[in-house]
Structure 1
């Protein structure tokens, strides 16, 4: 079943042009035509020009193949600066926007969303650049959203890129307020495991930003992502702001392969990078202050515990990073 809805895909790239190109390739193979908006988020590795060169060199051949299959040709547009405004006539197959600075996860996605909202799109698919999507992944998301007009955001089944038979995440996760901790659902399950969609949706408190389909109505009523988190907890904040007005949903058959934190050093196993560690703790504190003050004592005590642990291991720089996160001071490696 192919539902007639106009979709814009939003991708944020930061020093990861090879992953982004792989993501674009997978999107050009899906079962429907979409507009793709890529925000290069202040990359320092030449990403903007590498992606630009790839599009110029490869889209003509890709369009020949698409034409032979009766598919619409894909155009492209390059914007060297973040546009202040755009119109529906600006929308084309692929738009690559260059930001001079790193605006964070929310800021980068908001650049793409502001641009795409000028078009006539009914839905917006936010994808991490280190993902590739199954050919029917978007159709499965749209089918689920079409079943209930109260749905504002819908998530996919994320699987590990190098182990596609193992689940990384089922839609998103929950939040334990008495521990001040967000958690992922389904990690490590075999993909063949039967899934109770209703059970997942009942527990769901946020949809993973690696793959989230958002409705125009949600964006118009709730607004864009909050940009002052910079990294982490943006999705949970977004969902919290919409509570009582919109539902979160899950499309189990929407399969997305995810490399997990390719740009910033996030890991499901072992230690995070110092950048990841700082923003995870800083954003946890910020979210709890806004939405779950009951969580703050335990959150701050856990940050202090971890700082002491790093001191005992003579990892002074890591302990200092946690102290800066707790005090709201800027990140400093």
Structure 2
């Protein structure tokens, strides 16, 4: 395995206790930790983290840049500091040294490495996928074999990124703001001719939706809007129209949760119109997956 110079990047947005817990679990590891405060309502959160753990590096954006913008801030700093790799972590994850080491083993073969993830109750959920044309096929190793798997998409809640490759593709597309930015990033890495690997040996605990409930109107808006933006970007301006599954899922989501119907319709319309970035009146932060 070639030499890796790893920086662990944690994105904080109004979740001080989560970020402190995540930092504490890796504070004695051999890797540099960097916390990016993504415009928290209380600007003192970064100072609290820095005071508790003076050895880590902190960056304050001063404004919510979304997941992509916040992570890009940290990755660009790490790249300038000559780190070779960044591990991007949501603060609502529970990282361990073993998980990081298992991912590092695959970093020779993958410009991006994802990892198996489980809920706080130990229930596994899908954090990787392969592609068949435009069809996303969920991937999960049933045996946790530990040998690594080549995939096409990994979840942004915990991914290891080769910074040279990230720089080559221009890092993450900040126009997505929240959701689908890692899909887009993975696509561009693949088109660079590089591989993505998936670590199944040790699972990362992830309190999914810790900063934004996946069933909230805001989440529904970004999910459907960015699905269309993603399809338009990679498959052509009108490619989204033929995606029957997108509209079927939108109808089912609206039936299941009527309070999200307006946000879903708005997301579909804005996606078709090419609206990007944050939507202020949804009062949403752009932190976790």
TM, length-normalised to structure 2: 0.82
The one of 197, 222, 240 aligned to 1:249: 197
Using the TM superposition, give the Cα deviation of residue 309 of structure 1 relative to its aligned residue in structure 2, in angstroms.
7.4
The residue aligned with 2:22 is 23
The one of 247, 260, 269 aligned to 1:327: 269
Worse overlay, 137-146 or 295-304: 295-304
Aligned to 1:228, the other structure's residue is in SS state coil
- Note closer, same or farther for the CA distance 1:16–1:178 as it changes in structure 2 (3 Å cut): same
Structure 2 CA distance for aligned equivalents of residues 169 and 323 of structure 1: 26
Which aligned pairs between 1:306-325 and structure 2 lie closer than 5 A? Answer: 306=250, 310=254, 315=258, 318-325=260-267
Aligned to 1:229, the other structure's residue is in SS state coil
The one of 175, 181, 186 aligned to 2:140: 186
Using the TM superposition, give the Cα deviation of residue 183 of structure 1 relative to its aligned residue in structure 2, in angstroms.
5.8
Conservation of the 8 A alpha-carbon contact between 2:7 and 2:34: yes
Using the TM superposition, give the Cα deviation of residue 11 of structure 1 relative to its aligned residue in structure 2, in angstroms.
1.5
- Note closer, same or farther for the CA distance 1:152–1:300 as it changes in structure 2 (3 Å cut): same
- Note closer, same or farther for the CA distance 1:9–1:211 as it changes in structure 2 (3 Å cut): same
Conservation of the 8 A alpha-carbon contact between 1:288 and 1:296: yes
The residue aligned with 2:231 is 288
Please say which structure displays the higher CA radius of gyration: 1
- Note closer, same or farther for the CA distance 1:42–1:307 as it changes in structure 2 (3 Å cut): farther
1:137 aligns with 2:95: no
Please give the per-residue CA displacement for 1:172-202, whole angstroms capped at 9, x wherever unaligned: 22356566xx564339x6xxx344856x42x
Aligned to 2:126, the other structure's residue is in SS state strand
The residue aligned with 2:44 is 49
Which aligned pairs between 1:190-269 and structure 2 lie closer than 5 A? Answer: 193-195=143-145, 197=147, 200-201=149-150, 204-244=151-191, 245-266=193-214
Conservation of the 8 A alpha-carbon contact between 1:21 and 1:51: no
The one of 126, 142, 154 aligned to 1:169: 126
The residue aligned with 1:72 is none
Which aligned pairs between 1:83-94 and structure 2 lie closer than 5 A? Answer: 93-94=55-56
Structure 2 CA distance for aligned equivalents of residues 138 and 313 of structure 1: 38
Greater RCO, 1 or 2 (C-alpha within 8 Å, sep 6+):
2
The one of 215, 218, 221 aligned to 1:278: 221
Structure 2 CA distance for aligned equivalents of residues 35 and 313 of structure 1: 44
Structure 1: unaligned runs, 5 residues or longer? 60-75, 77-92, 267-271
The residue aligned with 1:122 is 84
Structure 1 CA distance for aligned equivalents of residues 32 and 256 of structure 2: 50
The residue aligned with 2:287 is none
Structure 2: unaligned runs, 5 residues or longer? 283-289
- Note closer, same or farther for the CA distance 1:274–1:183 as it changes in structure 2 (3 Å cut): farther
1:159 aligns with 2:159: no
Conservation of the 8 A alpha-carbon contact between 2:145 and 2:201: no
Conservation of the 8 A alpha-carbon contact between 2:99 and 2:202: yes
Structure 2 CA distance for aligned equivalents of residues 37 and 254 of structure 1: 23
**Hey, which bits of structure 1, 4+ residues long, moved more than 4 A?**
175-179
